[in-house]
Amino acid sequence: MKQLHKICFLIIGFIFVLGCNSKNEDKHETREFKESIYYTCSMDPQIKEDKPGKCPICHMDLTPAKKDNGAYNSISLSDQQIKLGNISTAFIGTSQQSQQGDYTGVLTVNPEGVKSISARAGGRIEKLYFKTEGDFIQKGQAIYQLYSEPIAIAKQDYVSAYSQLAMPGDFGKNAKTMVAAAKQKLLFYGLSNAQIEAVKKSKEVSPYTTFYSSYSGTISEITATEGSYVMEGAPIIKVANLNTLWLETQVNVNYAKSLRLGQTATISFVDFPSKSVQATISFINPEINPDTRLLLIQLEVANPGLLLKPGMQANVQVTQSNQKGIFVPIDAVVRDEKVTFIWVEKSHGVFENLKVTTGLESNGMIEITSTIDTNKKIVITGVYAVNSEYEFRKGKDPMAGMKM
């Protein structure tokens, strides 16, 4: 009888222990289930709560959603989500692309063709024959008239020396040296041979001298005024040769790496939509603009007939053929304020973000200059569907946990 009681007692104890374990397992499963879900609002997905309730923004009922417990920089998607998001992947390898860069620029005066007409001696500007910038000056046209005592004295010395040439003996011989010296001084002051010949024939030496242009061009600047006094060497008028203009534009520093001096570009103009010309790169600035990260380049543009004017806007098209590199569709790259990245397929339905650096961009493709594993597929369509789901689950911080 006692043996029977012991057996019954052991059976009851076993049932009690088994019941307790079952309850503990149920509690553990319930806790794991609760820890694996959170409550959010379908209208305001940024709201995430640990328990049911109302959305603090729109006051709708919060709905349960499953937490993604995978790696922070990865996300798992179901086949249905992949289909609805039109998400597709592909292997990307090294290829050759013809890259075309399109930029805008402005025509400017070529500084190499600018000439400055300066005062050859100190004096007063008695008359300016051109007073408007943009006027065209022909070679040999009168530019200004100068009242100058130094020039007047040099003229008088020349006339006096010339009058002594007919004197006999040493006076005549010395006069030849004096005439040559006086003429040289007048040439230094900018008088032409014809003007010097006119001086010795004149009965009275004039303190006024007219100066003529030595070249043709368009007036780009007038710095003197009638009645003003000028010092020797002071600029009076600047004349620009507009047969060749410069086109200044700024290009992305990544694109500029492959540009070279003498490279040809196609130029079209806003004011002449049907006109396009070929130009060559004549200057590449060695310094990058620290604010824009752009590089200034200048192209030399021929301007026969002077149809083009400084200040005109132009479009620059530079084509680089057969550029070798890793190119992906532009839509495959996500650009954030802090980082640029792509999505890589780790396994079926599992994607991770990968930080990249980019280079040339043209014709819907962009170059990846950083090292990537070409044995892995990257997301080429539906990228923003993947990214939106990632932000919905894990927040919008592309730097946190990102794979470098």
Residue range of the domain that includes 308: 100-110+242-322
Q: Does 206 map to a domain?
A: yes
What would the mean pLDDT of 26-35 be, rounded to a whole number? Answer: 45
More confident of the two residues 229 and 43: 229
Instruction: Give the number of other CB atoms < 10 A from CB of residue 73.
Output: 21
pLDDT of residue 163: 82
Q: Do residues 342 and 272 share a domain?
A: no
136 plus 185 within the same structural domain: yes
User: 299 and 248, same structural domain?
Assistant: yes
287 and 375, same domain (yes or no): no
253 in the same domain as 346: no
pLDDT, tens digit, 9 for 90 and up, residues 268-300: 888 888 888 888 888 888 888 888 878 888 999
Q: Which of 193, 214, 240 is the last residue of a domain?
A: 240
Q: Hey, what amino acid is at 275?
A: K
Which band of pLDDT confidence, cut at 50, 70 and 90, is reported for residue 305? confident
- Considering the domain architecture, whether residues 222 and 126 belong to the same structural domain is answered as yes
Strands (E) in 110-182, as ranges, are 114-118, 123-128, 136-137, 142-147
Mark whether 266 and 219 lie in a shared domain.
no
CA distances from 205 to 121, 181, 208, 262, 317 (A): 17, 18, 9, 55, 61
With respect to residue 403, please indicate whether it lies within any of the assigned structural domains: no
Is 207 inside any structural domain?
Answer: yes
Lowest-confidence segment of 124-128, 193-197, 343-347, 373-377 by average pLDDT: 373-377
Mean pLDDT of the chain: 80
**399: in domain:** no
Instruction: Kindly state whether residues 342 and 373 are assigned to the same domain.
Output: yes
Q: Which of 322, 352, 368 is the last residue of a domain?
A: 322
Alpha carbon of 274 to those of 44, 55, 268, 269, 277: distances in Å?
Answer: 52, 59, 8, 8, 10
Q: Is residue 310 part of a domain?
A: yes
For residue 225, tell me if it sits in a domain. Answer: yes
State if pTM tops 0.75: no
pLDDT, one tens digit per residue, over 9-23 is 555 555 554 454 544
269 contacts 164 by C-beta, under 8 angstroms: no
Provide the CATH number for the domain around residue 292.
Answer: 2.40.30.170
Buried b (16+ CB within 10 A) or exposed e, 121-131: bbbbbbebbbe
Mean pLDDT of the 392-397 span: 69
Tell me, yes or no, whether 209 lies in a domain.
yes
| Chosen domain end from 224, 240, 256 | 240
Query: Can you give the CATH number for the domain in which 341 is found?
Result: 2.40.420.20
Task: Tell me which of 68-77, 175-184, 368-377 is least confident.
Answer: 68-77
CATH number of the structural domain spanning residue 135: 2.40.50.100
d(CA 47, CA 59): 11
In a domain, residue 404? The reply is no
What does the DSSP assignment read for 38-52? EEE-SS-TT-EESS-
In the chain, the number of structural domains is: 5
Q: Are residues 134 and 224 in the same domain?
A: yes
In a 10 Å sphere around its CB, with 0-12 CB exposed, 13-18 middle and 19+ buried, how is residue 304 labelled?
exposed
Same domain? 177 vs 224:
yes
List pLDDT tens digits, range 309-337: 888 998 888 776 556 678 888 888 888 77
Residues 381 and 270 placed together within one structural domain of the fold: no
Q: Say yes or no: 47 and 82 in one domain.
A: no
Residue 5: what pLDDT?
A: 53
Residue of 294, 275, 270, 292 lying closest to 284 (CA atoms):
294
- Tokens representing residue 359 in the block: 């280079």
